[in-house]
Amino acid sequence: MLTRIDRVQITANDATALAARFVQLLDAEIAYTDDVPALRARRAVVRLGDGEVEILEPTGAGQVADHLAHGRGGPFAAGFATPSIHRLRRQLAEHGIVPTTIGHEQHFIDGRRLGIPGLNVVISPEERRRSVGLFTRFYEVTHLTADPQASAARLAQTFALDARAFVPIESAAYGYRGVLTLFRGTELDRIETIHPFDAAKTMGRFFGRFGPSLYMCYAETDRLRDLRTRLKSLAPKDWTGTDDNDDGLFIHPRALGGLMIGVSRTTHAWTWSGHPERVRPK
């Protein structure tokens, strides 16, 4: 029912300026701008990889304005693609969920209605696009929660996911544990729903300040060296990585309007996603 992570929605005070930053830093393309009255927002849509980044600028009181007012400009909603919006709407109705229409066959569900605090989602029809810029595709959005098991179970129930494909995850280095809710066992696309148990670490401090919320996203690339060169030139203090590591890096929130992005070389994320045998050699 869900095929992939195809986008991320973020909030910003100036959608036009932030869209231009994505173009400058990541060779993204601006697809279009429009108004989203249901969210009381103006939207700039940026093509990146084979997905999109939707940048929401508030035009009045509402959830987008509230998100910014609480100092959380950055990730606002995780984007899911489905081959059948109508079938998914029937599935949601069985669980008493009525989504908000925000575009042509595009629907928004906030965490309260979804029953997963801190996890807003936007659902769009499956659409295959050519890859644009320095990413290949998005595959993960990270959700911070006090109860990742409950969040994973709710995702499985609501979207008819096979929980047997889910993978436990834990990191002592970053101080979290939880679940990778893989939509399909053969692909990386998932919500990473985790509890930051170490309040002294960066993720734990963020959770202590904002509670259940979206934290970051992950993308794949076949052009990690090109990306690293671009970051060195245009955002030298706003990324973490090394010249001798061709497996991945992190782009800090300062570089892209509050959105933190982890970037891994294609297939490398299988290393921690349950199937290390699927990692392609360099």
Q: What is the pLDDT of residues 115-169, one digit of tens each?
A: 999 999 999 999 988 999 999 999 999 999 999 999 999 999 999 999 999 999 9
Supply the pLDDT for residue 61: 97
Amino acid letter, 67: H
Supply the pLDDT for residue 282: 86
Extract the tokens encoding 25: 């830093």
Q: What is the CATH number of domain 137-273?
A: 3.10.180.10
Supply the pLDDT for residue 104: 84
Amino acid letter, 12: A
Same fold, 4-125 and 137-273: yes
Q: SS3 sequence, 167-210?
A: EEEEECCCCEEEEECCCCCCCCCEEEEEEECCCCCHHHHHHHHH
- Topology (CATH level 3) of domain 4-125: 2,3-Dihydroxybiphenyl 1,2-Dioxygenase; domain 1 (3.10.180)
Extract the tokens encoding 234: 């245009």
Nearest to 150 by CA among 94, 199, 111: 111
Supply the pLDDT for residue 92: 96
Supply the pLDDT for residue 9: 98
- On the 0-12 / 13-18 / 19+ scale of CB atoms within 10 A, 83 is exposed
pTM of the model as a whole = 0.97
Q: Kindly list the domain boundaries of the chain, sorted by start residue.
A: 4-125, 137-273
Low-confidence ranges of the chain (pLDDT < 50): none
Supply the pLDDT for residue 157: 97
Amino acid letter, 254: R
Supply the pLDDT for residue 223: 97
- The CB-side HSE value for 122 (13 A sphere, CA atoms) comes to 25
Helix 85-94 crosses helix 148-159 at what angle (to 10 degrees)?
Answer: 120
